[in-house]
Amino acid sequence: MTSTQSVTPTSHHNDIALELCELSRVFKLKRGLFSAPGEFKAVDKVSLRIRKGETLGLVGESGCGKSTLAKMLLGLLEPSSGNVLINGKEVDPGQRRALARHIQPIFQDPYSSLNPRRSVADIVGVPLALHQVGTPQEQQRKVREMLDLVGMPERTHQQYPNQLSGGQRQRVAIARALVLHPDILICDEPTSALDVSVQAQILNLLLDLKAEFGLTYFFISHDLGVIEHLVDRVAVMNKGSLVEIGTREQIFERPKHPYTRMLLASALTPEPGLGVPDITCETIA
Amino acid sequence: MDIVLDVKNLRVDLPTPNGMLHAVRGIDFQVHRGEMLCLVGESGCGKSMTSLALMGLLPRKAVRTADHMRFDGIDLQTLADREMAVLRGARLAMIFQEPMTALNPSYTLGDQLCEALRTHRKVTMAQARERAVYLLERAGVPQAAERLRQYPHQLSGGLRQRVVIAMALMCEPDLIIADEPTTALDVTIQAQILRLIRELQKEFGTAVVFITHDLGVVARIADRVAVMYAGEVVESAPVAELFARPTHPYTRGLLNCIPVRGKTLPGSRLQAIPGVVPSLVGTVAGCAFANRCSQVQPACTQTPPNVALEANHTVRCFAAAAAQEYV
């Protein structure tokens, strides 16, 4: 098991895979014709570090800024202020292609994240073609190897996404994310569109791949059971700000912030007889 | 306790270009007055088709058959569309997953709530409004009286679902069918809504058929549970009994594959159920779970028996039948 010490400012820079420094994103809201435009702080001065080989979980409710944060890490959205460092180097938001070598996404919905008009092998081959890695023969070989690794049998390689189940589609999305051998995977709710029996298969696959490639995961989820199972450290977000960050034990055993406590209290574990928790008292906190 | 809903051998078939899809394949269940029955299963197991079949809201091409489908002694199959419309909303109500689409965006909440009552009962507008305000308050909607003039888009998702629940209760129905009512909501709001449904159910003595895929929700709210797989009820038991002694290999698989605090070692491999749900198009022979089951035996190519265990617990499985005989 990976050590769960929290990262201290003295940590050596070589150990840090991903660092966010006061990252913010403000959306301008148009109001009336003459009134001044309003502002909505989707992400407000979020700073955190993820060590190499670590899994950091990010939890929070819808609208708390989780996905905006993920988009900024992937270079899909420009930060309003603050910066992102990958392996100690600052990232230029204009350099999406260079960024993609290091950081790749897996999205929630495997039904909309795969191009329906391309075969499985083509989908996984796109990053290799875009980045001009090797000859076409080498690319084909890499695609085959990667699909084998994620558990896609040979006969599915020429199929189209609509012929696959949800779990298989998510396997294809994982193969596409890994084919360039990135250091960091941003997993944005990768199993919440799947049934629980399939979710377990995908979580096992993510654990195996991490062990094989020494990957660093930034794992976004609203499912606290999944977060507790998978991560070394947890960051809790509410209304655009990071309210608490700590090791799995710190967050799950000794949560400090009232919002973290409320989130933990409202999780429904499959234990009959406990009833539904009453969380109204702390709701407005 | 008297039985509000008694369903025997319900089947729903949907014609598709590739042949007949057997969405629901002969299920039996009963719901007692004031009881919460949870139908739990993964996508495609037929749980939503079951709810639509009960409400008479199936797609036009779907074929529904049953030995009987008695609601308070009335066989729902014998009712004409118009007679069903009289029951629906008045004595049988439904809460859908999406509170966004369940409310009409172009009418105020007051209009929609009062319409639900005035369609079925001879009451004045003032009386209807009074009941609407009372139920909105009971459902935890703040400033209920002022809300009647608001439109659905002015409310958050959680508030909308509270309004939908209040609307379902307008005519004091005997039975509410709730199809994944909290799936679209955040966990904190989900806990509040589940608590509300449970409280109101106890207060009004309403029977509820609650459809969900979430075993955490089932454990916390159900009185009885029916586990569905591939259009069949594979296991049914009171909630404590089901979680204490899950017997069908599918139920056990479902419980084992979710990470649970204190039980699953973080970072360990989860016990996934291998394979995928079979296609229900065409004839389905034998046990539908056989191709994913760890305890499969030669007999499983035949239709498995429905074995009655102790404590009101039934299982549709050869392995369970063999164990029972052995005891």
Q: What is the dihedral of CA B49, B50, B52, B58, to 10 degrees?
A: 60
Q: What is the mean pLDDT of residues B61-80?
A: 94
From chain B residues 152-211, the ones with a CB under 8 A of any chain A CB are: 186-188, 190-192, 194-195, 198
Q: Is the pLDDT of residue A275 over 70?
A: yes
Q: Give the per-residue pLDDT at A280.
A: 61
Q: Give the per-residue pLDDT at A195.
A: 87
Interface pTM, i.e. ipTM: 0.84
**Closest C-alpha to A102, from A18, A196, A173, A198:** A18
Cβ-Cβ contacts under 8 Å, B258 against chain A: 196, 199-200, 225, 270
Q: What is the mean pLDDT of residues B37-56?
A: 93
Could you give the domains of chain A? 13-283 (3.40.50.300)
**Which chain B residue shows the shortest CA-CA distance from A229?**
B266
- The contacts of residue B111 (CB under 8 Å, 6+ apart) are none
Beta-sheet pairing, A241-247 with B74-75? unpaired
Q: Is the pLDDT of residue A248 over 90?
A: yes
Q: What is the pLDDT of residues A31-68, one digit of tens each?
A: 667 777 788 899 999 999 999 999 999 999 888 999 89
Residue with structure tokens 């089947």?
Answer: B11
pLDDT level of residue B327 (50, 70, 90 thresholds): low
Q: What is the pLDDT of residues B82-113, one digit of tens each?
A: 999 999 989 999 998 887 788 999 999 999 99
Candidate from B220, B260, B270 with C-beta closest to A274: B220
**Which chain B residue shows the shortest CA-CA distance from A207?**
B267
What are the phi and psi torsion angles at B241 (to 5°)?
-65, -45
- The contacts of residue B257 (CB under 8 Å, 6+ apart) are A196, A197, A199, A200, B270, B271, B272, B273
From chain B residues 212-241, the ones with a CB under 8 A of any chain A CB are: 213-222, 239-240
Cβ-Cβ contacts under 8 Å, A277 against chain B: 191, 195
pLDDT level of residue A271 (50, 70, 90 thresholds): confident
Secondary structure class of B42 (helix, strand, coil)? coil
State which of A80-89, B64-73, B179-188 shows the largest mean pLDDT: B64-73
Q: What percent of chain A has pLDDT over 90?
A: 62
Cβ of A135 under 8 Å from any chain B Cβ?
no
SS (H, E, C) chain A: CCCCCCCCCCCCHHHEEEEEEEEEEEEEECCCCCCCCEEEEEEEEEEEEEECCCEEEEECCCCCCHHHHHHHHCCCCCCCEEEEEECCEECCCCCHHHHHHHEEEECCCCCCCCCCCCCHHHHHHHHHHHCCCCCHHHHHHHHHHHHHHCCCCHHHCCCCHHHCCHHHHHHHHHHHHHCCCCCEEEEECCCCCCCHHHHHHHHHHHHHHHHHHCCEEEEECCCHHHHHHHCCEEEEEECCEEEEEEEHHHHHHCCCCHHHHHHHHHCCCCCCCCCCCCCHHHHCC
